[in-house]
Structure 1
């Protein structure tokens, strides 16, 4: 699970497993520490996100979208991973939950469907990458 967490907690390199992202760049703050800001860019959309909490002992981090070009406000997301297997790296359970305030470019339901599909793609990419990083 250590390799899985190491990949997922690398806040500024999410493009490694987020296939829908073209790039993710460090913008400000200490890399992968509370206060770190990243700029994630896809083909048409971009978001500036700030790491607001990280708990390596409990394999969890929380971030907020502080600026974007797709009309949302008040987006906060928490990523958490637990080992539900027998310790061999199999059976990680990922919980990636989010809250969003206002959606100006679509309905809240449309946004939930959109972001849920993107998070699922990222989880699948993370799972694939983690297979190559586990001891």
Structure 2
């Protein structure tokens, strides 16, 4: 029996944190249940199962930047499971297990990378994803949305790290 091959969208976006080192940014990325604190266009994120930062935990995220496929709901939401955490590699992998935004078999990785291009203390956040195409969506628009969101997240993370370093927490 032949299997039908489904083409998948694969994308990677990144942003550089000029004022944060890898070891400062990593705990913020690993803080799986609190994405809303760093991702300005996501007003709601909280844990619904398991221990924050431990594989198998599930978070609920809700917002409006990616439209819902359900016209009866004005808020887009997803439940996301943390699949893997690699402290040595400073990366997390997660998947969407349920949503109303049309993603099927969505998998993503967020990773902190040393910024060795200019010798600065900064680091880079890389966010890659793979998902089956969503009817009515354009891949490039989704990629732009992710890139803009990650840039905003990087800015919020630098602000949070600066506050912690200055002892204002």
For normalisation by structure 2, the TM-score amounts to 0.69
Contiguous gaps of at least 5 residues in structure 2: 1-21, 65-74
Q: Which has the larger radius of gyration?
A: 2
Structure 1 consecutive aligned stretches of length 4 or more whose deviation exceeds 4 Å? none
Distance in 2 between residues matched to 1:116 and 1:21, nearest whole Å: 14
1:53 corresponding residue in structure 2: 84
1:42 corresponding residue in structure 2: 63
Contiguous gaps of at least 5 residues in structure 1: none
CA RMSD of superposed structures (Å): 2.1
2:142 corresponding residue in structure 1: 111
Distance in 2 between residues matched to 1:75 and 1:121, nearest whole Å: 22
The alignment partner of 1:102 has SS state of coil
Distance in 2 between residues matched to 1:18 and 1:29, nearest whole Å: 22
Cα 1:67–1:104, aligned 2, differ >3 Å: closer, same or farther?
farther
The alignment partner of 1:112 has SS state of helix
1:73 corresponding residue in structure 2: 104
Question: 1:65 touches 1:75 (CA, 8 Å); kept in 2?
Answer: yes
1:13 corresponding residue in structure 2: 34
1:28 is aligned to 2:52: no
Bigger RCO (CA 8 Å, 6+ sep):
2
Question: Residue 134 of structure 1: CA displacement?
Answer: 4.3
Distance in 1 between residues matched to 2:135 and 2:156, nearest whole Å: 29
Distance in 1 between residues matched to 2:150 and 2:99, nearest whole Å: 17
